[in-house]
């Protein structure tokens, strides 16, 4: 008998679910490496060839190689190289449609944390890297897509630290009152098992789709708050062989995006791939 079981990792599931949401003709503002970058590049490869993306450190609209070439001039065939201020100017001016970002914790209004766990800012229980470019991306892009693994202590009523803004307290115009551009905010939260949106009026997180291999109850059971649940709850199909093949051979051969430093930590698709301290790293110390 032929075993037709498909196996995939959490990270692969994140990248695939994200990739399926990508839209052609849109611009994505991303950080180097990690599941959001994988999702955007896989989405460009398979579903939305005309999407463009730019990196927080100043590379505008690169055209990746499949598979990535080993190179010291990352971001191959970019349209422009600029100061890291340039893509921020453009995000502020409205050119960047989507931010695609990692988070350690997300709250019910889409505020997210990549700074610290604990209650004392000066002496955190666990310090993380900080905002990187996430704060300005989540503030100035029209829509924010967050990517994180669904596990306990990730989706919480209140984050320990709002590194980057969602809908803040959820009240109308809360973002504008805080000085952020109008009509912006979180759009989707992608996990390996479910996808969430935000209800228009209350700005509260809403369960939109659940993996075919799990259930809404199981998903909500891993959350620290009750989300709204969409009336027409969609089903997420598991990653297909084509998606996994593309991810493993064309986008991220060898899993380097999350593998930590290696000889190949600079790969064609972008910049340095930082050591294993990505935002979604372990919550344990």
Using CB under 8 A as the criterion, which residues of the chain lie in contact with other proteins when the complex forms?
A: 55-59, 70-75, 78, 81-85, 88, 92, 111, 115, 121-124, 126-136, 138-140, 161-165, 168, 174-181, 260-266, 271-272, 274-275, 277, 285
Q: Which is nearer to other proteins, 164 or 191 (CB)?
A: 164
Nearer to other proteins, 168 or 210 (CB): 168
**How far is residue 198's CA from residue 110's CA, in Å, rounded to a whole number?**
8
Q: How far apart are CB 143 and other proteins at their closest, in Å?
A: 15
51 touches 26 (CB < 8 A) = yes
- Residue among 166 and 211 whose Cβ is closer to other proteins: 166
Contact of 112 with 146, CB cutoff 8 Å: yes
CB-wise, 19 or 146, nearer to other proteins? 146
Q: How far is the CB of 58 from other proteins (least distance, A)?
A: 4
Burial of 274 (0-12, 13-18, 19+ CB in 10 A): middle
Q: Which of 114, 116, 92 is nearest to 103 (CA)?
A: 114
Which is nearer to other proteins, 129 or 253 (by Cβ)? 129
CB 63, min distance to other proteins, A: 14
Nearer to other proteins, 46 or 131 (CB): 131
- Count Cβ atoms below 10 Å from residue 240 Cβ, excluding itself: 13
Return left, alpha or beta for 216; rule: phi > 0 is left, psi -120 to 50 is alpha, else beta: alpha
Q: What is the smallest separation between the CB atom of 163 and other proteins, expressed in angstroms?
A: 6
| DSSP annotation of 250 | I
CB of 30 to other proteins, least distance (A): 13
CB of 284 to other proteins, least distance (A): 12
Q: How far is the CB of 210 from other proteins (least distance, A)?
A: 30
**Nearer to other proteins by C-beta: 23 or 61?**
61
Whole-number Cα distances in Å, 211 to 150, 159, 197, 242, 265: 12, 25, 15, 18, 32
| Pair of tokens at residue 179 | 């000085």
Q: How far apart are CA 218 and CA 187, in angstroms?
A: 23
Rounded to 5°, the CA angle 212-217-218 comes to 70
């Amino acid at each position: 008998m032929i075993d037709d079981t498909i196996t995939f990792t959490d990270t692969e599931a994140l990248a695939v679910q994200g990739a399926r949401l990508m839209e052609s003709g849109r611009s994505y503002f991303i950080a180097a490496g990690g599941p959001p970058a994988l999702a955007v590049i896989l989405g460009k490869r398979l579903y939305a060839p005309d999407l463009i993306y730019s990196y927080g450190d100043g590379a505008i609209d690169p055209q990746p190689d499949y598979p990535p070439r080993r190179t010291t001039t990352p971001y191959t065939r970019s349209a422009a190289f600029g100061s890291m201020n340039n893509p921020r100017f453009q995000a502020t001016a409205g050119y960047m449609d989507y931010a695609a970002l990692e988070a350690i914790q997300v709250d019910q209004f889409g505020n997210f944390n990549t700074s610290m766990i604990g209650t004392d800012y000066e002496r955190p229980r666990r310090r993380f890297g900080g905002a990187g470019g996430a704060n300005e991306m989540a503030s100035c892009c029209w829509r924010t897509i967050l990517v994180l693994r669904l596990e306990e202590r990730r989706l919480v009523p209140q984050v320990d630290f709002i590194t980057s803004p969602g809908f803040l307290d959820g009240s109308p115009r809360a973002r504008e009152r805080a000085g952020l551009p109008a009509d912006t905010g979180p759009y989707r939260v992608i996990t390996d098992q479910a996808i969430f949106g935000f209800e228009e009026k209350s700005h509260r997180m809403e369960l939109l789709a659940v993996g075919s291999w799990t259930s809404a109850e199981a998903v909500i059971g891993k959350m620290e708050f009750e989300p709204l649940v969409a009336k027409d709850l969609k089903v997420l199909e598991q990653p297909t062989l084509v998606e996994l093949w593309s991810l493993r051979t064309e986008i991220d051969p060898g899993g380097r995006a999350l593998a930590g430093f290696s000889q190949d930590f600079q790969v064609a698709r972008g910049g340095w791939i930082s050591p294993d301290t990505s935002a979604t790293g372990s919550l344990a110390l």
